[in-house]
């Protein structure tokens, strides 16, 4: 399907013309009437010329498409399509073009003269994650006399192949939970004060202060004892972990929708932590553990979600082992497309505080609906 190929179908007017031509020729032959015969041949000539031109009309059309690098499922994005006529002699007439990303057909009413370029800008939308693979445009023209419908299917020449990521979704109660955890950081896990750290300011000596903390150079200059007040210990940032797994206990089949929902929640968590600039230990089973430090790491992990396939585990051992590798985290989010009841118990011995998330336990109110668009006719 890589090369454009026009297909011609008769329109009612075309059928009438060819029937009339046939009848005229037949009548001319039967009645030995040269007038009827020549009229029939003339009609056949018109029909033939129309067919020839209709077949050539769209043959020079080249369609380039500019797409963004990334998009999210269910969100519109701008698409710029450049139509050019590569034909050296024949103009591309009035036609209609269909882009599978667009909501409706795009009409071009002015003919494209040889060598001319025209740009159309519109919105596109995808309802499935993944990379947008090579797509084909379809154009329809009834030029020149409306006797034929010429249909041509050709490949879009895309500037890049965009990645459609799952639309991030962070349930409100989960966001509140994380915010509360982050607030708790101020009251816990302070790093021990460092005696060699820079002092913040000097203050007067008070009874009970250690002699070691006197700042002698300033004290001698000012003739009063001054104490070094060290920098207050800063709280150690909370370490979060995200463990994603698909678990299929025997006899239970999870639907693709639950897996997609889980990917959306994971994307929501990743976007949240990226915006907060918080480091995250992240693992999607059966793959290995990675540390997401900066926005580049987070973007790579989010891109990976777009291409993630479901790789279900059949036993608890791998989940338990994976949870153990998060032992240095303060909180671990375990996200699965399988109901919590099937696997939570097996993680009871984990040394990390767990927040278990599945798509089933989301209430109907917090379960978001994806907006879909009217489908185009399949190519």
- For another protein, the binding residues (CB under 8 A) are 68-72, 75-78, 103-104, 121-123, 165, 167-168, 271, 275, 299, 371
Nearest distance in Å: CB 270, another protein: 11
Nearest distance in Å: CB 107, another protein: 10
Between 75 and 224, name the residue whose CB sits nearer to another protein: 75
The residue count of the chain comes to 379
Between 112 and 163, name the residue whose CB sits nearer to another protein: 163
Between 74 and 312, name the residue whose CB sits nearer to another protein: 74
Between 51 and 125, name the residue whose CB sits nearer to another protein: 125
For 127, the token pair is 């309802």
- Name the DSSP letter for residue 236: P
Distance CA 181, CA 94 (A): 62
Distance CA 67, CA 79 (A): 5
Between 47 and 298, name the residue whose CB sits nearer to another protein: 298
From residue 26, give the alpha-carbon distance in Å to each of 94, 132, 331: 35, 55, 89
Distance CA 51, CA 14 (A): 9
Between 112 and 164, name the residue whose CB sits nearer to another protein: 164
∠ at Cα 282 (278, 288), nearest 5°?
Answer: 150
For 335, the token pair is 């996200």
Distance CA 377, CA 379 (A): 6
Nearest distance in Å: CB 330, another protein: 26
Nearest distance in Å: CB 275, another protein: 8
Nearest distance in Å: CB 300, another protein: 12
Q: Rounded to a whole number, what is the distance in angstroms from the first to the last CA of the chain?
A: 12
* Cβ atoms within 10 Å, residue 119: 11
Residues in CB range of 323: below 8 A, 6 or more apart? 243, 332, 334, 347, 350, 352, 354
Between 363 and 372, name the residue whose CB sits nearer to another protein: 372
Residues in CB range of 274: below 8 A, 6 or more apart? 292, 295, 298, 299
Nearest distance in Å: CB 265, another protein: 14
Nearest distance in Å: CB 120, another protein: 11
């Amino acid at each position: 399907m890589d090369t454009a190929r026009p297909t011609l179908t008769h329109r009612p007017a075309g059928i009438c013309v060819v029937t009339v031509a046939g009848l005229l020729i037949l009548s001319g032959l039967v009645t030995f009437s040269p007038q009827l015969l020549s009229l029939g041949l003339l009609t056949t000539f018109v029909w033939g010329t129309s067919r020839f031109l209709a077949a050539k009309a769209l043959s020079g059309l080249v369609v380039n498409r500019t797409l963004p690098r990334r998009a999210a499922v269910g969100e519109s994005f701008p698409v710029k399509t450049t139509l050019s006529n590569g034909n050296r002699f024949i103009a591309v007439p009035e036609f209609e073009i269909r882009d599978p990303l667009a909501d409706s057909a795009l009409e071009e009413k002015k003919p494209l003269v040889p060598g001319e370029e025209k740009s159309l800008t519109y919105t596109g939308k995808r309802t499935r994650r993944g990379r947008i693979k090579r797509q084909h445009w379809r154009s329809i023209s009834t030029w020149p006399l409306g006797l034929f419908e010429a249909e041509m299917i050709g490949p879009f020449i895309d500037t890049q192949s965009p990645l459609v990521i799952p639309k991030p979704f962070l349930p409100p109660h989960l966001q509140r939970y994380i915010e509360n955890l982050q607030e708790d950081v101020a009251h816990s896990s302070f790093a021990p004060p460092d005696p060699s750290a820079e002092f913040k300011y000097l203050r007067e000596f008070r009874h009970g202060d250690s002699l070691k903390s006197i700042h002698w150079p300033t004290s001698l200059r000012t003739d009063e004892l001054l104490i070094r007040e060290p920098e207050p210990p800063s709280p150690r940032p909370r370490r979060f972990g995200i463990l994603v797994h698909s678990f299929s206990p025997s006899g239970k089949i999870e639907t693709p929708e639950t897996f997609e929902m889980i990917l959306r929640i994971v994307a929501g968590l990743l976007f949240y932590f990226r915006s907060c600039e918080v480091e995250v230990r992240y693992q999607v089973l059966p793959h290995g553990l990675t540390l997401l430090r900066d926005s580049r790491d987070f973007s790579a992990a989010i891109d990976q979600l777009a291409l993630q396939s479901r790789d279900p585990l059949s036993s608890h051992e791998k989940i338990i082992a994976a949870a153990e590798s998060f032992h240095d985290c303060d909180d671990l989010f375990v996200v699965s497309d399988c109901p919590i009841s099937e696997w939570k118990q097996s993680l009871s011995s984990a040394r990390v505080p767990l927040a278990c998330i599945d798509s089933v336990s989301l209430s109907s109110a917090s379960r978001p609906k994806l907006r879909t668009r009217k489908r185009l006719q399949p190519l």
